[in-house]
Each structure stands twice: as structure tokens, then as C-alpha cells.
Structure 1
Amino acid sequence: MTATSRDASAQLAESPARWTARHVATIANTACERVPLITGGDFAPIGGGIGIWDAWPVQASDGSIARLGDGSSLWMALGAPWFDDPDERHGHARIHLLRHGEGGGWHHLGPAMPDGFSPGSREWSGSARLDRTGRRLTLYFTATGRRGEAAPSFNQRIFAAEAELAADGGAPRLTGWHALREIVIRDPAHYMDPAEGSGSVGTIKAFRDPAWFRDPADGRDYLLFAGSQAGSRSAFNGVIGAAVADPAAPGNWRTLPPLLSADGLNNELERPHIVHHGGRYYLFWSTQAHVFDPAGPIGPTGLYGMVSDRIGSGWEPLNGTGLVCANPREAPCQAYSWLVLPDLSVTSFVDHWGGTFEPGTPRRFGGGFAPFLHLRLDAGRAALA
């Protein structure tokens, strides 16, 4: 291990920051930012006979959104055919490639990886970046289950794979997929084996959602991921994990202790990611009301975050509670999986829209991009712009 990677390991070896019941209990007594109500005219399917959720842009080597020659951008999103029960989509998820035009339109370009390439029975969330040439793409993703398994399992492994981007006329495409490798190895001292959890929605344990971040202060590459705390006595033991790349061998990743723990409070701190803004680091994640410990307190389904002046420690909850914004009260499940982009715009997908979701009633799954939001960040305060 190099001196640089030792320094990074030491920096993140401190006890993780804590998101606690004390923080969440304060939400009820403070002004809560609510996102605008989504109507049927605010979104549309992307085509291809699929619904999409969890999306991310392809990033340039400096962390910005990569642009093609015509100004459009490439995105990836989880996609699956439409089902009467939208929860069934998770068992059929594949990563799809999309093009986002400057005019705002979305174009479906098909599955990102070829059939039979992924080692899982399905593909869950990740991130992607281009190298400095803008032609070689690295995809970080979650391989869930194992290819060919008789029944879907919830084993989760974090992989990387590489492809060439061909964008010379016609629709962009990814070719020559290779270098498939498992890159973040679960440390049992810190992270629970996700196979130990159940398969019911809201109780699945995590080792997923790798989000790439390059620290502008020193050029180190990190992956943030959703995990579950090892050795916890609580069923609600979500953490945000981290791995750091070896500067001398950027393809080698060292698994680090968690950055943030919600042990005893919340089961899933999903799609964690970092944005650097105004000299500070902002750590964001999404979570849902039904994955809080029912003994309370329970926060709304929304975007949450913390702020620090360094990656390894010092994280404090934004707005004193961690809550950045939540779905409207009249449609508490309308959107999910918020991702804050470098320009502070925020993407998410339309989930159960148009009202409350009552158990036993049909779900109104939107399966498309929700209207983009925009944040305003001022030190420890965050609000919708």
C-alpha cells in the first residue's frame, strides 16, 4: 500500500458520523422544503417499452457532466418492462443508455452492456465516467444475484467494466466491453453480508450503488456506496461506505470504514454521492419513510445530506436535521432517487404519483424522469432554489 493510500485510510478510519433519532425528530418542528407536486403533464416515458428509475449522467474525468460534440449528454438508468406490480421491476433491472438533448428530450439507446456480460442476474445502480480522451468509458455498477441462478438472490457485488464510446455520426454507442472485475471487496468488520437480509422491499441489506467522486483537492478517486453495518443489534442499520483508489494503480480500490452510520434509525441510505461546492463537501443520499425504524422518529421520503470541510470526518447534518427536501404531503411517494449534479441541479424519477399510496391499491408508477430541481447551498443550509 502506498503512502498516499495509507493517508486516505487513516483519514477515514475514525468513527463514522452519526445520523440519529435526535436529528430526525427535529424535522417535525422545522420548516420542511417540499418539492412541487407532479402531474401527468410533467413527465413522459422514454420509450423502448420500459420504465426507468435510478439514473446518472456519464461524467468527464474532472467530474463534470460529459458533453458530446452537439452539446448533448449521455446518461444511464435502470430500466425494465412494465409490470402490474412495479416492485417486480427490481428483479429484471438492466442498465440502459440514454441521450439527453440540449432541448431537454430523452432518447433511449438500449441496454448499456451486451446480453450475458454482467455477472449478476440483474444490474443495479452505479456511475460512469470517461477518461481524458473522452473515448474510454468506465462503468461502476452493482451486480445483484448471480448469472444463471434459479431464483433471484440478493447477493450484491460492486464491479467495474470498460467500453469504447463511439459517437462519430448516428446514435452514440458503447462497444468492446472488457475488463470486467469486482473492485470493492466487502470488509466483514464493517459491512454486513447483504445475503443475510430478507428479500422483502424495505428490508433488503445493502452493498450497492457505487458513486464515483474525484476530490478536487488532491485528485484522489473515491467510490461511495450504500451498506449495512456489521454487528448491529438493530434491523435498521444503514451506512454509507467508501473505497479509495490507489494513486499508483487507479484500478485498485481499498475498502474503507463507513463515512456515515444510521444504525438504529434507518435501513437504507441509498445512492450516496458527494458534490464539492464552495470549498465544502456535501454528502447526499435518498431514503424512504418506510425504511425508518417504526419505533420512530420517522422522516419523510426525500433527499438528505451532510456537509464537511473534508471527506474523512466532520460531517454535520444539513439544516440541522439532514433533510434537504421531501415529497409533497399530498403525494408522499411521488418521486425518489434524487441525484445532485455538479451544477446543483437535481434529477429523480417519478414513482407513485398523483396522491397517497394505500396498501392494497394499484400503484401509479411513473417510470420516467421527474422535473429537474435546483439546490441552493450555503454552508450548512440547503434549500430548493
Structure 2
Amino acid sequence: MKTKQSSILSKLALTALVVSSAFTAFPVASSAQAAEDTPTWSREDASNFTLTDENTAPNIDSFTDVAPDYWVWDTWPLRDRDGSLAKINGRYVQFALTASKEYTWAGRHDHAVIRTFYSKNGKDWEMGTVPYDEDKALGFRQWAGSAMIDENDKIHLFYTAAGRKDEGPTFEQRLAKTTFEMDYDNKEGFQVKNNGEHQILAEADGVYYETQAQKTGDIIYSFRDPWFFQHPETGEEYLIFEGNTGGTDKTLEADNIGNVDGPIPAGAEDYNGNVGIAKAENDDLTEFELMPPLLEADGVNQQLERPHVVQKGDDYYLFTISHQFTFAPGLEGPDGLYGFHANSLFGDYEPMNGTGLVVANPEEDPFQAYSWAVLPHGQVISFVNEFYDENGDFQFGGSFAPTLKLKLKDDTSEIKGVMGEGEIHG
């Protein structure tokens, strides 16, 4: 990696999701590389993945369904402003994408809403409500984001507004938020009050971040998954999100390729995922300025999903998740959690463990879990995706997966243990 200078059913379901026929007009940028000096995840970096005991998750052959009537997938905890896990009346709160099981496993994406889950011990979870008025929420459906509770007990829920209500389930994506407060009652559980307005915070600009109109290839473009981050040294606040490199010139540069043998397969240039960042311009966290991306993966991977940063002393760890099928032609990477290390938020990120791979599913069950998120103290949550049970039968998941315990040291990582399903602790 250098700094730039100038599941068979799973695949079928996801392929149905990724092909879009709806396009919106946006300004066109002339260059695929909008900002110089953006760290790159190169094809050379992503060419030598090896599954080991240190990076392979234990097998999942059964699970306890946290919400039997709902599909549950991308999950994130309520955090304090500094990123630590928050509690309300002594209870942890998690947010997750959900959809009724009246919809198919593949169709759940078109009906996603965000629900709450709460637990006193961080292990035994009860499902709460959708904490916002679905009629007032932005987007035809709401995709993943993050949640922060401020010093006035106001919860800021950042989410992806996917599509628009009057257009059906298109693949347009915008970063959005709403606010509310929550109280816990022993009889009624969590109650939501003082709901705020829903607001768009950022849209793809076509320069740093690709718009839907600029997209090439068969996989949907990305402008989603806002993750709130407060800089521990400056106090400045940001949203970190998944994007694609903006512009219409999809030519790969030397830094995107690295030292690899042979020609680059046709179509690799269409895979241009990046990790975006936007800076808060006001205390209300309603105005954000798009900044050059933290990392780009042009020619390597189309989707660097749910990116987030964990800071540990002088080490900054940028994590993202990606599917096997979103790697560019000529590359083979597992469904997994990938990480990059730098010594500052805007540092020269290098792939952890040499390639970037931090957690992979086992080879015999390559799609068993997905959507890993690394929390303080090295806890890694995810959801049960598609797996083979103890009888060898293929099953859909849709619930909390066992939490992994991850050790981080300098630019390396190691899986050190397994906790309960969805288990988190402050």
C-alpha cells in the first residue's frame, strides 16, 4: 500500500439488490481522483489473503433468535460522544436494521427500518420499537448508521436515507439524521419522546464521491453508513461513511495496482470503493462539509461498508467490511472485516496484518456472519447471515451473532475469544 501522489444464495440475493435502473442527474467531475495523497488499498495488498487461527471466526451452527418475527441484521450500539458505550437507566441500547419475516430474506433490504434492543446485562436482549415516525423518516427505507447520546440526553440517530418515498426502492443514498430522547419504564420498557425533525446531512458531490449517475459496472454505488466520530484530541466531530471515488475517469493508477504480475482484468476499474469523511460545521450536528476520503480502493473493491474508526493511544484503526463478490476481477477475498492502521485520523493508513484482513468466516461456512463492527475494548459484533447448521442444512440467520474478542497491537490483530450473541460491555 502506497500514498497516491498526483453464498450461492447470498450472491443471488445480493445480485438482485445491486443492479439499479434508476438514475438521478448530478454534476459530473472530470477526474476519478479528486484528492491527492489519499492512502490506497492496492491490488498488491489484496492479493495474498490467508485464513489463520488469528483471523478466522469460530463456526456458527446454531443461534438463538433475538426477534423471531423479524429479520435482524446490521447492528450498532448507542455510544457516548467520546465513542464509549452508553447506558440509559442502567441499560445498554442497540439499534439494528429489521424487517418483518413476511418479507423474504432477499427482500428484507427493501423494507428495512431501524429498531431498538435493550439489555441490563449486555447479553440478554429485548426488542423495543422503531424510535421514529416511519412516515416522517427520509428514504423509502432506512439503512445503517450510528447513534450517539449527548450531554443533554438527546440521542442523535444517523442513518442512510435509501431511495425516496415517492419513488419506491431505488438505490439513491443520502446521509441523514433525526433526534429523540428515551426513558426506561419497568412496565413499558423504553419510551421514546421529543422526536426531532429528519434532515439530510450530505449527498454525493461527484468530485470526492461518486453519484449514482457516474456509476459504472453492475454493483450499486455507495454513499451510506454514517458513523459518528469525535476526535479525541481536537474535539472536532465527523461522520465516516462508505463511498466510491467520484468522477468519470475510471483509469487505475500505479498506486492502485502495486507490484503485481500480468494485465489487470477488464472491468476492475469499475470497482472504486472508498471511505469518506465529513466534518461537522455546527454544534447541532446538522451541517457537514465533505472532505477528501480517508482511504480508496480503486481497482480493488466496490464496497467498503460500514467504515468506523477505533482510537487506542497513538493508534488509529480504520475498519470496514466487505463481501467476497465485491472484490474486483482477478482478486479473491473473503466476506470479512478489514482494517487499516495509522498514527492519526488523517494518517497514511496501511493494511493491518499485511493484507487488511482482520476477521474472516471459516472456509467451510464462508457467509455465516457479516457486518462486523469493532467496539471499545476490542468487542466485535455482527449478525448471523447464512450458514450450515449442525446437520449440514443451509439456513438463513437474521439475528445477533456471537461477539468476538479482538486484540489490537500496532498494525496487527488477533481473535482472542468468543462472547455471547450480541454481547457488549462498557
For this structure pair, what is the TM-score category when the shorter chain's length is used for normalisation? 0.7 to 0.9
Change in 2 beyond 3 A, CA 1:250/1:79:
closer
What is the identity, as a one-letter code, of the residue corresponding to 1:283?
Answer: L
Question: How far apart, in 1, do the equivalents of 2:199 and 2:51 lie?
Answer: 47
Partner of 2:242: 226
Partner of 2:44: 22
Question: How far apart, in 2, do the equivalents of 1:112 and 1:199 lie?
Answer: 36
Give the secondary structure class of the aligned counterpart of 1:89. Answer: helix
Question: How far apart, in 1, do the equivalents of 2:374 and 2:122 lie?
Answer: 20
Question: How far apart, in 1, do the equivalents of 2:103 and 2:176 lie?
Answer: 31
Change in 2 beyond 3 A, CA 1:249/1:23:
same
Establish whether residue 59 from structure 1 lines up as the match of residue 59 from structure 2.
no
- Superposed CA deviations along residues 53-77 of structure 1, whole A, max 9, x for unmatched, are 000001112211111233x201100
Partner of 2:377: 343
Partner of 1:314: 348
Identify the match of residue 368 of structure 1 among 399, 406, 413: 399
Partner of 2:144: 125
Question: How far apart, in 2, do the equivalents of 1:312 and 1:242 lie?
Answer: 10
What is the identity, as a one-letter code, of the residue corresponding to 1:306?
Answer: F
Identify the match of residue 181 of structure 1 among 178, 199, 202: 199
Partner of 1:106: 125
What is the identity, as a one-letter code, of the residue corresponding to 1:364?
Answer: Q
Partner of 1:281: 316
Question: How far apart, in 2, do the equivalents of 1:368 and 1:132 lie?
Answer: 31
Establish whether residue 300 from structure 1 lines up as the match of residue 322 from structure 2.
no
Question: How far apart, in 1, do the equivalents of 2:101 and 2:198 lie?
Answer: 29
What value does the CA root-mean-square deviation take over the aligned residues?
2.2
Per the TM alignment, residue 313 of structure 1 is displaced from its structure 2 partner at its CA by 2.4
Q: Where does 1:38-57 land on structure 2 (aligned, <5 Å)?
A: 38-40=60-62, 43-47=63-67, 49-57=69-77
Establish whether residue 75 from structure 1 lines up as the match of residue 94 from structure 2.
yes
Per the TM alignment, residue 103 of structure 1 is displaced from its structure 2 partner at its CA by 5.7
8 Å contact from structure 2 (residues 365, 387) kept in 1:
yes
What is the identity, as a one-letter code, of the residue corresponding to 2:194?
Answer: G
Question: How far apart, in 2, do the equivalents of 1:336 and 1:228 lie?
Answer: 21
Per the TM alignment, residue 20 of structure 1 is displaced from its structure 2 partner at its CA by 1.2
Question: How far apart, in 2, do the equivalents of 1:343 and 1:235 lie?
Answer: 37
Change in 2 beyond 3 A, CA 1:188/1:49:
same
Partner of 1:9: none
Give the secondary structure class of the aligned counterpart of 2:275. Answer: strand
Per the TM alignment, residue 88 of structure 1 is displaced from its structure 2 partner at its CA by 1.0
Question: How far apart, in 1, do the equivalents of 2:274 and 2:356 lie?
Answer: 14
What is the identity, as a one-letter code, of the residue corresponding to 1:114?
Answer: D
Give the secondary structure class of the aligned counterpart of 2:170. Answer: coil
Question: How far apart, in 1, do the equivalents of 2:111 and 2:46 lie?
Answer: 34
Give the secondary structure class of the aligned counterpart of 2:388. Answer: coil
Give the secondary structure class of the aligned counterpart of 1:21. Answer: coil
Partner of 1:329: 363
Deviates more, 1:276-285 or 1:325-334: 276-285
Establish whether residue 353 from structure 1 lines up as the match of residue 373 from structure 2.
no
TM-score for the superposition, normalised by structure 1: 0.88
Question: How far apart, in 1, do the equivalents of 2:45 and 2:303 lie?
Answer: 16
Partner of 1:160: 177
Change in 2 beyond 3 A, CA 1:215/1:293:
same
Unaligned runs of 5+ in 2: 1-33, 251-268, 417-426
Unaligned runs of 5+ in 1: 1-11, 356-361
Partner of 2:135: 116
Per the TM alignment, residue 179 of structure 1 is displaced from its structure 2 partner at its CA by 3.0
Per the TM alignment, residue 248 of structure 1 is displaced from its structure 2 partner at its CA by 6.3
8 Å contact from structure 2 (residues 54, 415) kept in 1:
no
Task: Quote the sequence identity (%).
Answer: 36
What is the identity, as a one-letter code, of the residue corresponding to 1:142?
Answer: T
What is the identity, as a one-letter code, of the residue corresponding to 2:395?
Answer: R
Identify the match of residue 87 of structure 1 among 106, 110, 113: 106
Establish whether residue 194 from structure 1 lines up as the match of residue 226 from structure 2.
no
